[in-house]
């Protein structure tokens, strides 16, 4: 509990400072002050970044969905493989021994939850940056390359190509980097 408090305390402190700064004037409090809980972060994300359930699903964002699709499909496919193997393993019929099933279940749950949040309630292309920090994405790539070599090779080419393109986009301050 102490470690969780240490991690969360800067966020809470920031919210308290923002509340005192923007909501203490009773004549003109900010519009987010009456929300429960009052969160300036949620307000800014919703108002300026268009974050919210299915709010990013517009035709103008279709290219970003296409760019994120390979990573999302890989995570979803490997998660499906993992959970179906987990169910089969519980019945004594493990599908493969590439990766110990029980060892990566927390990572699979995290990757799935994260991917669903990014797909339905956030900017989808964020998965391209954040999947690099998820071990599950690397295990998924290894699974794809091992069990489906043609698709695995295509994944490697796409990853290298996207790495180069995203670097150029990032240094020139262009989206979706």
In order, the DSSP letters of the chain are -HHHHHHHHHHHHHHHHHHHHHHS-SSS--GGGGSSS--HHHHHHHHHH--STTTT-SGGGHHHHHHHHHHHHHHHHHHHHHHHHHHHHHTT--S--SS-HHHHHHHHHHHHHHHHHHHHHS-GGGHHHHGGG-HHHHHHHHHHHHH-HHHHHHHHHHHHHHHHHHHHHHHTT-TT-
Residue, of 24 and 14, whose pLDDT is higher: 14
Nearest-10 Cα torsion for 152, 153, 158, 160: 110
Encode pLDDT of 62-74 as tens digits: 998 999 999 999 9
**Spans of all domains in the chain:** 2-49, 59-171
Q: pTM of this prediction?
A: 0.80
pLDDT of residue 96: 56
pLDDT at 155: 94
Segment 92-113 shows an average pLDDT of 75
| CA 29, 34, 40, 46 torsion-angle sign | negative
Instruction: pLDDT band for 93, please (50, 70, 90 cuts).
Output: very low
Confidence of residue 84 (pLDDT cuts 50, 70, 90): confident
pLDDT, the chain, mean: 88
Mean pLDDT of 52-81: 92
């Amino acid at each position: 509990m102490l470690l969780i408090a240490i991690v969360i305390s800067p966020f809470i402190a920031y919210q308290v400072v923002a509340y005192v700064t923007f909501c203490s004037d009773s004549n003109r409090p900010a519009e987010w002050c009456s929300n429960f809980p009052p969160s300036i972060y949620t307000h800014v994300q919703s108002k300026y970044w268009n974050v919210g359930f299915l709010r990013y699903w517009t035709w103008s964002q279709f290219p970003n969905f296409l760019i994120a699709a390979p990573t999302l499909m890989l995570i979803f496919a490997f998660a499906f493989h993992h959970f179906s193997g987990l169910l089969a393993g519980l019945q004594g019929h493990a599908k493969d021994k590439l990766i110990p099933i029980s060892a990566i279940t927390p990572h699979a749950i995290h990757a799935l939850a994260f991917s669903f949040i990014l797909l339905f309630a956030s900017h989808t292309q964020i998965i391209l940056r954040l999947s690099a920090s998820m071990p599950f994405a690397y295990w998924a790539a290894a699974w794809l390359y091992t069990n489906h070599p043609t698709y695995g090779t295509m994944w490697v080419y796409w990853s290298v190509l996207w790495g180069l393109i995203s670097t150029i986009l990032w240094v020139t301050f262009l989206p979706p980097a």
